[in-house]
Structure 1
């Protein structure tokens, strides 16, 4: 990996400044905007900038230890330099680095030891305590994996093509890829490339969706012709998958509290050729109450900590805190309790999160079932990052004919 041009360094500096010191800006959006503005950068330049940018965010706490100080607006060049030296990345000695003293940093890098687990795994101290409490035997293994880069996985749109046909089309555009055993619609790229410029994407043949996430729609046990409610639809990744599995037959009602996400869902649905989706904005509880006892299937992809997807969203761990985690658990409990009433008798729902914490997953389901004896757990599955893809939890629950 080579960092040979001064403007690449300036781009990384600008993106880090926006991420760490901007107004709650997410790293993926910051990088997307940067790459759009740098039209002269080639594919290799973009790949280098993206990798360094995300790795610095990923290893922020360890880099702060090497530097001997926290990340501040005035020391971002030093932060970049320390990362480049630690990772043994090739670089030229940019003029911005002149006068920066890094002897102490180099000494710490060479020692290869860490005073605590938070620095070793580059996570906040409160999160170490949370992991040690909830996942005492496995959390270090999982954090090792979560500090790696995420693979790029596509979900084939079964309304228009097959994984084999999609792979063939992508290979014609020099995009190396392969299908995945155990994931019926998944295609994994062997190296990251901008696939959004391909005719395959423009024609709605695929969406980007992690392999673990693709299992959730199958878990819901849906059939063509059903009435399905996606209660936390967002921009519709799983909604579109449900539409494909239903072969455009039946009805999907996609709910969310953000209109812009539903607008994006409609745009994606048009490209995908998904015609059985109706969007509804949740403006108050009446929207939910009107749907009581009406759905054959219900998907609750609940808001969560996102600790299972840190590979692709490493900045999330710096935005989280224990207060947020406490609040989100209350929200999960309320959503599960309120939205479950949407199901008909005999209907089934999936409660899912992209967290690996039992307190957001199994514990929430157990609490719900203890209060609602007319529901029963059919099955549940925890997918850990060490299994290869994002960490997810899903539980299939049935409302009994009471």
Structure 2
């Protein structure tokens, strides 16, 4: 007999790991769902939604709690703080759960966790919020726009202020809205193994909703599924989970058969495998990354998909590999970044990043580019990409690189469908924005090394 599990207790555990122990939300949620994979689809969906939703809306939730609690959210015990947060999320965003049930379950959970003496506090705060949720006063959008956007979209104010310096107000607002809109999962068909139409039919047979993408012929959007790793098409290596923006890296690289490709920061291997797929069993892809764990992750994907023209190798991108000097036709440099373009998928990134960390990342990116640019043969291509929308990590890095190395930008217009075309594509780069481009926030630049002949 399967042991019964309290889903709210699991959610509490997830929140504590993320907020108190710096765990990454997408990883800890996945680990919990893997451990309790016998739970039915509805329970799994509840765990995912409340965990992700609470983390995603935490600034807004804390703002609400502070209006009704005599004890500031930051001065509460971590367990009580997390119980209140997950409960307020349900009160504000989930009509399917009665307010009384939310309050009762919160009190029970506080008691179960050894806080019997605080159950009255939990009950009082939540019942007060449930009765007066519509009366909460928020910052004025016109008088304090950055504060308004920060609270309403749960984005740290320093990030909002930074984006308001780089983008118009209505653009920033749409980006923030985009982070909160849950999109379907995007997958890339391995076209050297199966056609897109065959994959679509195979997924449909398993009862999975499949739609074609308007951006790339081999991209599909899937929904109404339970777990990806049990799908027959996934186990057979017919597809890879990958966002459109990430697929564009190998697309704009225009990889020719028999090419030698180095992916310098490859884990979990999506771009490397895409490159191998485009080579159609020719050439060679070297998927490199820093740690043994990351190499294992890449190898798992290589083994599942079954390509033989790709190999994973442990290599620090900051250390020059003399054997690779001017050997690669294409170098893919999707470098460590602030990750602020993929907040929709990794909701807690926004809380972990700081201005100091971001400045350090800009230096790291430049240091890596200086090293890995040397692997590109004369006339070859370097693709620089990040999953962020900050100018210093993107266009400013490209400008610096061109000024200090024998590379120039090359047009990528021919590789972008109308939906993704923009003013800068002809100049050799694109800044994709959430909601506006219906992709992750992502930057891609195509750089061609001078041919000395």
Taking the aligned partners of 2:351 and 2:388, their CA distance within structure 1 comes to: 16
Q: Which of 112, 123, 145 lines up with 2:155 in the alignment? A: 123
TM-score, length-scaled by structure 1 = 0.93
Taking the aligned partners of 1:182 and 1:283, their CA distance within structure 2 comes to: 34
In structure 2, relative to structure 1, the CA distance for the partners of 1:204 and 1:284 (3 Å cut) is: closer
Matched, 1:101 2:113: no
Taking the aligned partners of 1:289 and 1:101, their CA distance within structure 2 comes to: 66
Q: Is the 8 A contact 1:230 1:253 kept in 2?
A: yes
- The superposition leaves residues 347-373 of structure 1 with CA deviations (integer Å, 9 ceiling, x where unpaired) of 11110011111111111101111122x
The equivalent residue for 2:6 is: 7
Q: Which of 342, 356, 361 lines up with 1:309 in the alignment? A: 342
RMSD: 2.0
The equivalent residue for 2:43 is: 45
The equivalent residue for 2:64 is: 66
State the Cα distance separating 1:108 from its structure 2 match. Answer: 6.5
Matched, 1:385 2:434: yes
* Structure whose CA Rg is larger: 2
State the Cα distance separating 1:155 from its structure 2 match. Answer: 1.1
Q: Which of 67, 87, 97 lines up with 1:81 in the alignment? A: 87
SS in 2 for 1:178: strand
SS in 2 for 1:264: helix
Q: Is the 8 A contact 1:232 1:256 kept in 2?
A: yes
Taking the aligned partners of 2:326 and 2:344, their CA distance within structure 1 comes to: 38
User: Where in structure 2 are the equivalents of 1:169-180 lying within 5 Å?
Assistant: 169-180=202-213
Q: Is the 8 A contact 1:298 1:349 kept in 2?
A: yes
State the Cα distance separating 1:147 from its structure 2 match. Answer: 2.0
Gaps of 5+ in 2: 67-71, 108-118, 140-146, 411-427
State the Cα distance separating 1:284 from its structure 2 match. Answer: 7.8
The equivalent residue for 2:192 is: 159
Taking the aligned partners of 1:329 and 1:286, their CA distance within structure 2 comes to: 17
Q: Is the 8 A contact 2:320 2:372 kept in 1?
A: no
Aligned residue-pair number: 396
State the Cα distance separating 1:180 from its structure 2 match. Answer: 1.1
State the Cα distance separating 1:37 from its structure 2 match. Answer: 2.6
In structure 2, relative to structure 1, the CA distance for the partners of 1:101 and 1:381 (3 Å cut) is: same
Taking the aligned partners of 2:217 and 2:24, their CA distance within structure 1 comes to: 31
Runs of 4+ in 1 over 4 A off after TM superposition: 283-287
TM-score, length-scaled by structure 2 = 0.83
Matched, 1:26 2:24: yes
Q: Is the 8 A contact 1:15 1:53 kept in 2?
A: yes
State the Cα distance separating 1:201 from its structure 2 match. Answer: 1.1
SS in 2 for 1:385: coil
Gaps of 5+ in 1: none
